[in-house]
Structures are given as C-alpha cells and as structure tokens.
Amino acid sequence: MIRRYYIIVYLMIISLCLSSSQDNFFNQFANQAFQFAYKSWNNQNYREVRHLNNIDKPSYVLATPGGSLYISSFMKNEVYWIPNIYKSQSQAVTLIHGSGLDGPWGMVLDNKILYVASFATDEIRKYNSTTGEFINSFGGEQYLDCPEGIVLGSNRTLYVASFLNDKVVKFNLEGDFLGVVADGSSGLKGPEDVLLMKDGSLLVTSHYSDNILKFNSQTGKFLGEFGKVDRPVGLALGYDGFVYVTSYSTDSIVILDSSGTNILLT
C-alpha cells in the first residue's frame, strides 16, 4: 500500500551533510536509531556523503556509534549502507535489494544483525549487517499490519509500531511474540514511531490523533498523553533531555521537554 511519504525526512536526506570533525554527531541523540530530521552543527565545515540524492523516497536512517549509516528506501525496496561517514568521499552502497523486502521502514542493529521493518509484507526481516545476506523473518499479519518504527530495549526486546491495526507489539530477537504493549483503547491511532525513554517508559507517535502517547514498556499500562504535535511521525531523544518530533503537516521539528511541553512555545 502506497501512501504519503515523509517530506521532512526526504528533504533532509537529499541535502545530508556531515561535519568534517566527529564533533559529537552520534552523541546528539541518546537513541542510536532515529528519524533523521534534526541536525545541529557548530561550524560550517561540512563534508557531503556522495550519491544520497539518488535514493528514492528514503524513509528511515539508522546511525551507529561506529560511524556507519543504514538508509531504507521505501520505493525501491532497498537498504543502503555507508560504512564510514568520516572517510573522505564516503559513498552509499546498496546492501539489500528486494528478496522479499517490500516497503522497508524502521531499522535496528544488534550483534551484526540488521532488523528491518517490511511495511507491505507485515514482518520484521533479519539480515547480515555487512553482507546483506537474508537470515530469516518473523511477525506476519497475525501480529503486524504495516510495521513502521522499531526500537530495541535494554532487555533485547523489540518494540514495533504497527500502523494500520493501531498497535505497538513486542518480540524477542528470535522472533517470538511477547504481547501487545499498546492498542487503540488508549486512543492510539496510526502509530508511526516508538521511543524508549531513560526511565523505561515508551513514547509512541499517534499520527491521526495528533499527539504523543506514553506507556509503561514492561506492563503496557497507559500513562497518558505526553504531548501534542500535528500529525507526528518520528521521535528522537537528545542528550539534552528533550524529545524531538517531526510534524508531517507543518514540515517542522517540534521540541518537547520532559513534561511534554513544546519549548518553542514557552
């Protein structure tokens, strides 16, 4: 199923530039996997990664502490890999192409295995993170309906935003289903992305209800509305403690403090 794409992420990827020094780029966000929608540079010495403007409809970027990037292309059913962004004239190479992947979205990396949400096939697919070799998949329409954002918890539990059935579900990394964390009974409608906070709570962007909802990541208890954002999409947690949210309808980045208040409006 094809629907609107994230203009914010698309434009940011097209113009992606990386600082010529390693000035805390990967320390900007506490979570390693994030929607690439916010950047803050201290100088003007940029180095551009080549060929990123050839990526069709990029939907998600996974940054690793080692300096590599993984980029999923929703339209081409591909995942691109930049092994080292600090290397001069870094290039994006095609790591994964097709082979059952249909509408790649969110990604996480664990122990050299890349987990990719496959939107149109309702599954999470596992690949070797350097060769792109397919390992196996899990999920399926019994549990997932158009999975998007995913995040890995400290207990190696994988949380998945399932867009069309208004759920957040969890699996272990072997693919065993561990239960539903959130569903429509809490007002969740169109979950796009998930973010684990330092206190163990789980934030979820509820796209069609224009807010961010908060849950206990272990029990699934609904903890209330965290903040309001017009058509929220991606989530990232900064080391400054603020939560950064992309707003699809306003083409902007909303910054929320620990109480969920928009700091740009205070």
For residue 53, the 8-state DSSP code is G
Picking from 165, 132, 146, 63, the residue whose alpha carbon sits closest to that of residue 102 is 146
Residue 140 lies inside a defined structural domain of this protein = yes
Residue 138 lies inside a defined structural domain of this protein = yes
End-to-end CA distance of the chain: 40
Whether the full predicted model's pTM is greater than 0.85, yes or no, is: no
Query: pLDDT at position 137, please?
Result: 98
Query: pLDDT at position 91, please?
Result: 80
Q: SS3 helix, strand, coil % of the chain, rounded to 5?
A: 10, 45, 45
CATH of the domain at 193: 2.120.10.30
Question: What's the whole-number mean pLDDT along residues 202-210?
Answer: 97
What lies within 8 Å, CB to CB, of 131 at 6+ separation is none
Query: pLDDT at position 39, please?
Result: 37
Output the six-digit token pair for 240: 């400054």
| Domain housing 79 | 7-265
Query: pLDDT at position 29, please?
Result: 38
Query: pLDDT at position 32, please?
Result: 36
Which helix (H) or strand (E) segment holds residue 117: the answer is strand 113-118
Residue 254 lies inside a defined structural domain of this protein = yes
Question: What's the whole-number mean pLDDT along residues 251-258?
Answer: 89
Which helix (H) or strand (E) segment holds residue 11: the answer is helix 7-14
Question: What's the whole-number mean pLDDT along residues 100-107?
Answer: 94
Q: Which of 25-34, 173-182, 204-213, 218-227 has the lowest mean pLDDT?
A: 25-34
Q: Which of 4-8, 104-108, 208-212 has the lowest mean pLDDT?
A: 4-8
Residue 2 lies inside a defined structural domain of this protein = no
Which helix (H) or strand (E) segment holds residue 79: the answer is strand 78-82
Over 50: is that where the pLDDT of 233 sits?
yes
Query: pLDDT at position 128, please?
Result: 98
Query: pLDDT at position 55, please?
Result: 67
Residue 236 lies inside a defined structural domain of this protein = yes
Query: How many domains does the structure of the chain reveal?
Result: 1
Residue 33 lies inside a defined structural domain of this protein = yes
The tens digit of pLDDT for each residue in 160-177 reads 999 999 999 999 999 999
Residue 1 lies inside a defined structural domain of this protein = no
State the residue for tokens 């072997």. Answer: 174
Q: How many helices, marked H, and strands, marked E, lie in the chain?
A: 1, 22
Q: Which of 15-19, 73-77, 168-172, 201-205 has the lowest mean pLDDT?
A: 15-19
